[in-house]
Amino acid sequence: MKVPRSSGLAALVPFLSLIGHAASINLTVATSGGNSSSSTPIGIMFEDINHSGDGGIHGQLLRNNGFQGDDQNLTAYAAIGSASLAVDSSTPLNSAITHSLAVTVPSDATGEAGFSNEGYWGIPVVAATYNTSFWFKGDFSGALTLRLVGASSGTVFGSASVDVTGSADDWTYVQTTALESNATAPDGNNVWEVVWEDASAVAGKTVWFDLVALYPPTFKNRPNGLDPRIAEVLDQLGGGFLRFPGGNNLEGESEDNRWKWNETIGPVEERPGRQGDWTYPNTDWLGLIEYLEWAEDMNLFNILGVWAGLALNSGGNTPLTGDALQPYIDDVLNELEFLLGDSSTTYGAQRVALGYSEPFPIPYVEIGNEDNLSGGCDSYPERFQRFHDAIKAAYPDIIIIASTNNADCLPSPFPEGAWQDYHTYSARDDLVGQFNLWDNWNRSIPIFVGEYANRDSDEQQWPYLAGAVSEAVFLIGVERNSDVIRLAAYAPTLQHVNGTQWVPDFVSYDASPTGVVKSTSYYVEQIFAANHGDTTREVTSDTAFGPVYWSATADSSSGAYYVKLANYGADVQSVSVSIEGATGSAATTTLTGGETDANTLEAPDTVVPVSGSVEAADGVFTLELPAWSVVVLSTA
């Protein structure tokens, strides 16, 4: 629901003036003093959960394209015409891609034959030039037709004929940009097809296919890049950092199943993929370099997660310690050499050979993920210290982040200069209760709030307004302490609604061209990311916190003030904000609506921010905070 500042609220103003100013909350923002504040408080936490990578932000749209993971079957494929399909392990593409699709056409075949792939519960077909490719092996040379087709409607959105020359002995790579869609599909119910228009051309034969791929024009036109439908939404968040590749998905169900950096680089046909930790296979086409390019393209700095000796093995896990840990410490040093080393180093040379002459910036490395859980606590002091010391010895400038702030699981003393990561998934009142959490935190240990969200129950499908206001209250508590609580990210970030393991989520989508939803939680972060200075300013008041919460920052170069206000309650609140010397008008951004209003696929714009302005009178801005609202006042 859009709530213009003038409509229903204006009607309340005369009533409020009748009851006088007694109810007004008076805030005075200091014009000097304060602490240095994080310049990039908000960012993105990413791991492949809910098909957020494959089937989400990664641009490749076809599913099960390399038959990776633990369970190889025909998921997403269907036969066309007289063809029959089978997953075949006897005709591998190579040692990394060990299964292929065998397409067999009967000897008496006529008419069309071939196969389709339905993508991730559909394909978001838009009017665009597609980049499509596949490998095939078989005794066939001639024309193949590639099509994008509405699965129920039969509408052909794009069709291209490619002449291929095959061989029964070797795999042939086919790549073309000839497939163009001339329309945007009305929904996501579309498939990609490979067809012999005259099946007699392959009658009685089997032809093998592998690594079918389909990309729309990608975000910033990167090869093997991101889907702009989703990437643009994350770009518009205006965040400062990207934490990757997890999260639990870094950890693996077993040591061998962990995310391995060296198997996510190089040509995609050399990436074996793995069974991810969230029930489905990962192709790893969104690999180490692709994450770094994503960060580069959105002007984000990198927080690189590394495996720290703890797998998730639900059967009872024994974290690696002592000598058993050393190869994994060495592996992280190799990864960092790959990213940071020059061409005289073994792994730096490998990066240069892949075409990346410049090193990638790695300011932060996080050791593991949630090591206070999954049986990791007792061994983490040793594990953290050893990774920390080894990385610091080689790269003194990298800031090391521990994956918990639970002192029981950390070395004592805690290494100087290192940070700690705090996670919270909390019911909304509990999140509001964490407003004061950091007020007495040890000022020499910076905190990264690596994952937070209002989560009232594991049945909660969508973020909703009052929950998002509780997140704003929590973030205001972070900002008031931003001398030491430096960064925060909502999690999980992305969700395909047809393949979900965790709700609620920040940005949700289905396979339709327009089906992307920015949640109420997204808008809170977007407003916070756009409005902050580099110095906290003390705010004094005659009123205690609750249900209204506030904080202020100022920008030392421009002199602008940013005052954040959250009303976590069902009553309108009158607030006056005094900033000595302030004149003219300030911009306001307001997020409000009904307490339980949520943005959903059916109603994505239920709650959106509204811009306004307010005039200063004698250095005082007078505002009405709607019930359940987040309001930011900016003098910039």
Ligand X SMILES: *[C@@H]1O[C@H](CO)[C@@H](O)[C@H](O)[C@H]1NC(C)=O
Of 314 and 444, CB closest to ligand X: 444
- Does 430 bind ligand X (CB under 6 A)? Our answer is no
- Does 536 bind ligand X (CB under 6 A)? Our answer is yes
Pick the binder of ligand X from 43, 56, 122, 477 (CB under 6 A): 122
Of 30 and 529, CB closest to ligand X: 30
- Does 373 bind ligand X (CB under 6 A)? Our answer is yes
- Does 263 bind ligand X (CB under 6 A)? Our answer is yes
Distance CA(252)–CA(246), nearest Å, equals: 10
The token pair at 114 is 């071939």
Of 181 and 589, CB closest to ligand X: 181
Tell me the CB-side half-sphere exposure of residue 469, using CA atoms within 13 A.
31
Of 93 and 109, CB closest to ligand X: 93
Q: Where in 44-83 is the site for ligand X (CB under 6 A)? A: 64, 69, 71, 73, 75
The token pair at 41 is 């408080």
DSSP labels for 369-386? S-TTSTT-TTTHHHHHHH
Cis peptide upstream of residue 504 (ω within 30 degrees of 0)? yes
In this structure, are residues 475 and 488 in contact, taking their beta carbons and an 8 Å threshold? yes
Of 215 and 549, CB closest to ligand X: 215
Q: What is the 3-state secondary structure (H, E, C) of 331-363?
A: HHHHHHHHHHCCCCCHHHHHHHHCCCCCCCCCC
In this structure, are residues 340 and 362 in contact, taking their beta carbons and an 8 Å threshold? yes
Pick the binder of ligand X from 384, 414, 561, 621 (CB under 6 A): 414
Pick the binder of ligand X from 483, 530, 587, 620 (CB under 6 A): 483
Contact stretch for ligand X (CB under 6 A) within 403-411, 584-592, 609-617, 621-629: 403-411
Question: How near is the Cβ of 609 to ligand X at its closest, in Å?
Answer: 26
- Does 99 bind ligand X (CB under 6 A)? Our answer is no
Pick the binder of ligand X from 264, 404, 508, 606 (CB under 6 A): 404
Of 175 and 556, CB closest to ligand X: 175
- Does 534 bind ligand X (CB under 6 A)? Our answer is no
Which of 477, 478, 405, 409 minimizes the C-alpha distance to 445?
Answer: 405
Contact stretch for ligand X (CB under 6 A) within 339-347, 351-359, 443-451, 557-565: 443-451
The token pair at 425 is 């998934």
Distance CA(232)–CA(525), nearest Å, equals: 15
Of 404 and 634, CB closest to ligand X: 404
The token pair at 193 is 């097809």
The pairing of beta strand 274-275 with beta strand 585-592:
unpaired
Amino acid (1-letter code) at residue 582: A
Of 107 and 221, CB closest to ligand X: 221
- Does 546 bind ligand X (CB under 6 A)? Our answer is no
Residue 386, CA distances (Å) to 304, 393, 422 in order: 17, 11, 21
Amino acid (1-letter code) at residue 492: P
Question: How near is the Cβ of 123 to ligand X at its closest, in Å?
Answer: 11
- Does 500 bind ligand X (CB under 6 A)? Our answer is yes
Pick the binder of ligand X from 445, 473, 575, 623 (CB under 6 A): 445
Tell me the CB-side half-sphere exposure of residue 28, using CA atoms within 13 A.
8
Question: How near is the Cβ of 361 to ligand X at its closest, in Å?
Answer: 23
Pick the binder of ligand X from 121, 356, 395, 441 (CB under 6 A): 121
- Does 264 bind ligand X (CB under 6 A)? Our answer is no
**E strands in 230-312:** 241-244, 274-275, 281-282, 301-306
Question: How near is the Cβ of 261 to ligand X at its closest, in Å?
Answer: 8
Question: How near is the Cβ of 140 to ligand X at its closest, in Å?
Answer: 23
- Does 309 bind ligand X (CB under 6 A)? Our answer is no
In this structure, are residues 454 and 426 in contact, taking their beta carbons and an 8 Å threshold? yes
Q: What angle do CA 196, 225, 281 make, to 5 degrees?
A: 70
Amino acid (1-letter code) at residue 293: E
Of 302 and 536, CB closest to ligand X: 536
- Does 422 bind ligand X (CB under 6 A)? Our answer is yes
Question: How near is the Cβ of 460 to ligand X at its closest, in Å?
Answer: 13
Pick the binder of ligand X from 94, 372, 460, 600 (CB under 6 A): 372
The token pair at 447 is 């905190």
Residue 446, CA distances (Å) to 19, 70, 443 in order: 45, 40, 7
Of 255 and 597, CB closest to ligand X: 255
Size of the site for ligand X (CB under 6 A): 58
Q: Where in 123-182 is the site for ligand X (CB under 6 A)? A: 131, 133, 156, 158-159, 175, 177, 182
With a CB cutoff of 8 Å and minimum separation 6, the contacts of 98 are: 67, 89, 92, 272
Give strand pairing partners of 496. Answer: 509
Q: If you search the block for the tokens 């920040």, which residue do you land on?
A: 506
- Does 540 bind ligand X (CB under 6 A)? Our answer is no
Sheet with 190-196: strands ordered across: 77-81, 113-117, 190-196, 141-150, 156-165
Question: How near is the Cβ of 330 to ligand X at its closest, in Å?
Answer: 8
- Does 248 bind ligand X (CB under 6 A)? Our answer is no
The pairing of beta strand 156-165 with beta strand 281-282:
unpaired
Which of 379, 394, 374, 241 minimizes the C-alpha distance to 316?
Answer: 374
Pick the binder of ligand X from 172, 262, 317, 622 (CB under 6 A): 262
Of 105 and 293, CB closest to ligand X: 293
In this structure, are residues 631 and 568 in contact, taking their beta carbons and an 8 Å threshold? no
In this structure, are residues 470 and 433 in contact, taking their beta carbons and an 8 Å threshold? no
Question: How near is the Cβ of 440 to ligand X at its closest, in Å?
Answer: 9
Q: How many CB atoms lie within 10 A of CB 611?
A: 10
Pick the binder of ligand X from 94, 161, 498, 578 (CB under 6 A): 498
**By rule CB under 6 A, what string of x and - marks binding of each residue 504-523 to ligand X?**
------x-------------
- Does 497 bind ligand X (CB under 6 A)? Our answer is yes
Distance CA(323)–CA(569), nearest Å, equals: 55
**Residues lying near ligand X in the complex (CB under 6 A):** 21-22, 24, 26, 34-35, 64, 69, 71, 73, 75, 121-122, 131, 133, 156, 158-159, 175, 177, 182, 215, 223-224, 260, 262-263, 279-281, 331, 372-373, 404-406, 413-414, 422-424, 442-445, 480, 483, 497-501, 510, 536-538, 542-543
